[in-house]
Structure 1
Amino acid sequence: MLVKEWNELPEFMQVEEVKPYYDILKKKKLQLILKRLFDIVCSFILIVILSPILFILSIWIKLDSKGPVFYRQERITQYGKIFRIFKFRTMVTNADKIGTLVTTQNDSRITKVGSKIRKCRLDELPQVFNIFLGDMSFVGTRPEVQKYVDAYTNEMLATLLLPAGVTSLASIKYRDEDEIIEQKTNEGKTVDQAYIEDVLPEKMKYNLEYLDKFNIGRDLSLCVKTVI
């Protein structure tokens, strides 16, 4: 979890806009160690506690539609590393090949069980495995696909200094982002344009603020807010 030395960062991240956030995080060694310890301990406990629920949801998904239980899409995490995220499949098989990478409101690709699971964010539960493995953290910028990371400004690249997260203030504030995207597409934009031009910049304001004010207490507070 500790931040690398500046000259060890990927070259594309060694830009002046990232440096202020890097300097802030570099001074918070103890906080970062506590963050990783929290992730390891709590994700392990949750894997044990949630195993019956994960098993039941897996059967429900399998009975509802053809295809795998998990959706393993490639996402981007710390330092631009590619990893495969664990999520319960809530859409038809090969949904990303027959539509956009962003889910829209009333998306026809969503299965019956998927619509119910998504309402309660239960499709995110398997990400406790990603947290335990170190690809993600409980709190941090949501992991994007490469296509959207390529649209980041230099300042947005600072969010890659830490592992991607399951939740964040941006995720809480924009939990209904599909409504915004639908509004913008009705105005003539494509789904990708609406996400990159209207949703992503606003979410990133919260993500960058998180880096600026990072501490383990704030992480715990965001976890509580997410549950509430």
Structure 2
Amino acid sequence: MMKRIFDVFVSLFLLVLFAPIFLIISVLIKVDSQGPVLFKQVRIGKNGKNFNIYKFRSMKGGAESTGPHFTSKNDVRITSIGKIIRKSSLDEIPQLYNVLVGDMSLVGPRPNVPLQREEYTEREWCKRNSVRPGITGLAQATLRSSATKQQRTNLDLEYVENASFFYDMNILCLTVKQVVSRGGN
């Protein structure tokens, strides 16, 4: 209960605080490339429930149909503004709405796309989806984008086993340190 109250309070506060940045990023995205400002995608939430995740669009229109569900270091689908907002993790800000409405938490395993189901055993899938997915998680706070699939899975499962409010606070601090010192994705 304390986690959900914290999620609502912080997400609401940050949505208000970042409102001017929302506007600036929206204009930059529209000037940089054609397409919508926000990217919407079906993801898997708590207990396997589907929900729409929102991000600032950082890729060219139709990029989902021209490549894999993950990006590589020099992915040609990423726009000029997309490179900047990904590096700073600003593309993730709209997910604060997902946190506010209860689809996500600030901290938890990153939500998968449905196609990623085949990458997990039944036990791993059920366990990692027994909690709300997060904007950041243990894998992002420690290894960022350099984690292998197996490392991410292991860290996601470790998070679920040790989840607590204070563990979340530690992960949030580690995430801020990662973004400030090493940049975003």
What's the secondary structure of 1:144's corresponding residue?
coil
- The aligned amino acid for 1:175 is R
Cα distance, 1:221 vs structure 2? 1.2
Q: How far is the alpha carbon of 1:46 from its aligned partner?
A: 0.7
- Equivalent positions of 1:154-169 (< 5 A) are 154-157=122-125, 158-169=127-138
Q: Does residue 80 of the first structure (1) align with residue 48 of the second (2)?
A: yes
Instruction: Write the mapping of 1:130-149 to structure 2, written as runs, cut at 5 A.
Output: 130-149=98-117
Task: Identify the match of residue 173 of structure 1 among 127, 138, 142.
Answer: 142
| Residue aligning to 1:210 | 159
After TM superposition, the structure 1 = structure 2 runs for residues 26-175 of structure 1, keeping only pairs within 5 Å, are 33-157=1-125, 158-175=127-144
Q: Structure 1 residue 225 and structure 2 residue 170: aligned?
A: no
Secondary structure, in 3 states, of the residue corresponding to 1:218? Answer: helix
- Partners of 1:76 and 1:149 within 8 A in 2: no
Contact 1:159 1:208 in 2 (8 A): yes
Structure 2 residue 150 is matched with structure 1 residue 201: yes
Residue 15 of structure 1 aligns with which residue? Answer: none
- Please tell me the root mean square deviation across aligned C-alpha atoms, in Å: 1.2
Look up the equivalent residue of 1:220 and give its one-letter code.
Answer: M
Contact kept in structure 2, 1:91 and 1:111, CA below 8 Å: yes
**Cα deviation 1:183-208 (Å, max 9, x = unaligned):** xxxxxxxxxxxxxxxx2221111111
Return the alpha-carbon distance in structure 2 between the equivalents of residues 147 and 69 of structure 1.
24
DSSP 3-state at the match of 1:135: coil
Could you say which structure has the larger radius of gyration? 1
Percent identity over the alignment is 39
Q: Secondary structure in 2 aligned to 1:73?
A: strand
On the 8 A contact 1:77/1:136 being kept in 2, the answer is yes
Structure 1-normalised TM-score?
Answer: 0.75
TM-fit CA distance, 1:35: 0.7
Inter-partner Cα distance in structure 1 for 2:77 and 2:59: 5
Residue 215 of structure 1, CA deviation: 1.0
TM-score (norm 2): 0.91
Residues in 2 aligned to 1:144 and 1:172: alpha-carbon distance in whole angstroms? 17
Cα offset, 1:156, TM superposition: 1.4
Number of residue equivalences: 176
Counterpart-to-counterpart distance in 2, 1:173 and 1:90: 24
Report the secondary structure of 2:18's partner residue: helix
Deviation at 1:154, TM superposition (A): 2.3
CA–CA separation in structure 2 for the residues paired with 1:176 and 1:203? 10
